């Protein structure tokens, strides 16, 4: 028996007091870990939020949270994150990943399996055309 995981980590940087309060209210019960950090050692991000998952993170739930956050606090901004799908045993179909780009109005998802299928389909279609032309 193998265990499957979806892992991610992302940062929402430069939080002000109202943003942090809103995030505290909306983070509970979403099924991923998080921590608020900040201080002199965090000059680039100032006060910020880490969202991470070591076992399974539902990418759509994270995207929904980020979209609501952006709509409320940073309507002209964007946030993004990537994730890794892994497995406790070597299984050929269990290692992949994806990326999510979020604005206040939409979230765009990309998964490596879909991307690989698209590339394979394009390659096969081009090869078929080449074979037909050669006949």
Largest CA distance in the chain: 70
Query: What's the Cα-to-Cα distance from 99 to each of 11, 70, 132, rounded to whole Å?
Result: 14, 18, 37
Could you report how far apart the first and last alpha carbons of the chain are, in Å?
50
> Against a cut of 0.85, is the pTM above it?
no
pLDDT digits (tens, 9 = 90+) for 58-116: 889 999 999 999 999 999 999 999 999 888 888 777 789 999 999 999 999 999 999 99
Q: Which residues contact 5 (CB under 8 A, 6 or more apart)?
A: 54, 55, 56, 84, 85, 86, 87, 88
Which residues, in sequence order, are bridge partners of residue 112? none
DSSP letter (8 states) at residue 118? H
DSSP letter (8 states) at residue 124? H
Categorize the per-residue pLDDT at 43 as very low, low, confident or very high, splitting at 50, 70 and 90: low
pLDDT digits (tens, 9 = 90+) for 10-32: 999 999 999 999 999 998 777 77
Distance CA 41, CA 56 (A): 29
pLDDT digits (tens, 9 = 90+) for 113-131: 999 999 999 999 888 776 6
Instruction: Tell whether the model's pLDDT for residue 39 goes beyond 70.
Output: no
Read off the tokens for 67. Answer: 């979209």
Read off the tokens for 77. Answer: 């901004």
Distance CA 96, CA 94 (A): 6
């Amino acid at each position: 028996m193998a265990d499957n995981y979806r892992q991610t980590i992302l940062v929402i940087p430069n939080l002000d007091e109202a943003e942090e309060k809103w995030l505290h209210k909306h983070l509970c019960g979403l099924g991923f870990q998080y921590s608020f950090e900040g201080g002199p050692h965090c000059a680039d991000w100032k006060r910020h939020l880490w969202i991470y998952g070591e076992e399974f993170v539902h990418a759509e739930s994270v995207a929904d949270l980020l979209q609501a956050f952006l709509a409320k606090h940073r309507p002209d901004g964007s946030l993004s994150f990537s994730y890794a799908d892994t497995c406790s045993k070597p299984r050929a179909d269990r290692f992949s990943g994806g990326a999510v780009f979020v604005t206040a109005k939409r979230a765009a998802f990309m998964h490596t399996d879909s991307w690989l299928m698209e590339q394979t389909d394009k390659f096969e279609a081009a090869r078929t055309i080449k074979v037909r032309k050669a006949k």
